[in-house]
Amino acid sequence: MEDYFRWILGVLVTFTVVPYLTARIVSWIGHVAKKTLVDNLGNNSQLVVGGLGVMIHELGHAMFAFIFGHKVTKVQLLNVHYQNSGALGSVQHSWNENNIYQRLGNFFIGLAPYYTCSVALYLLQKFLLNAQFNFSSIGTETTLNATNLVESVLNNLKTAFANGTWSMIILYLVLTIMIASTGYDLSDADFSTVHKGIIPWLIVQFVIGNIFIIVGKIDLLNSYLLYFTSFSILFMVHAIISMVLAIIVIKILGIF
């Protein structure tokens, strides 16, 4: 019975608490990055410099709203007249409260920009720099090594530039700054959307976790928990490094 509660708790923590906390941390730094952008380069820099990040941010909301069957009534990837509403972009959607799939979708819709921005940055490394990623050293099949996680991110960042030409490296850095300066800043409204999906998402995890236990797939379940936690932390560290880079460059540009 003790093992049962440990397994179920592991499922709930891994697939709810881990993504929520990592997104909170990244969003806080993302807010600092956007504030740095405005303070150093002016309000319109949110469009000129950070417009790409805003569009990827809103595209993430829209994509996951479609995936979870929400009725999307309006998508504005970039609002050039943001002074009137205060919103750089927006996605308006509605859902059926009696549909658990649509309700739990709110959890993913709210967090979506965190993952879409991270995926975009990894794709830039892959296709602009011909980066060769290696995640084999993040831990064993049963344990998670935090030191190896951080080292894996740093090593992948270093090797990412090994195959890139100078022109592609410069383009990658410019696009990274454009994405990281605005894309990771999740608003209070975004987290409010996340909160609406937590309870149904927890229920679904409880059911699925019990199915794995009943059919005797505990080892497979443990592997899923480990890998999801590992890659969640990898995404977080990579996002933080990208945002710190953006903050440093923006501050330097602000001097001139």
CA distances from 248 to 33, 94, 126, 218 (A): 9, 39, 24, 45
- Dmax of the chain from CA atoms? 64
Per-residue pLDDT of the chain (256 residues; tens, 9 = 90+): 667 777 788 888 888 999 999 999 999 999 999 999 999 999 899 999 999 999 999 999 999 999 999 999 999 999 988 887 778 899 999 999 889 999 999 999 999 999 999 999 989 988 888 876 665 555 554 455 556 666 666 666 667 677 778 899 899 999 999 999 999 999 999 999 999 999 999 998 888 888 877 887 777 777 777 777 777 887 888 899 999 999 999 999 888 7
The pair of structure tokens assigned to 136 is 């084999």
DSSP of 124-140, one letter per residue? HHHHHS------TTSB-
Residues contacting 4, CB < 8 A, separation 6+: 213
The pair of structure tokens assigned to 110 is 């709210």
Structural Rg of the chain based on CA atoms: 19
CA distance 128 to 142: 35
What global pTM score does this model have? Answer: 0.88
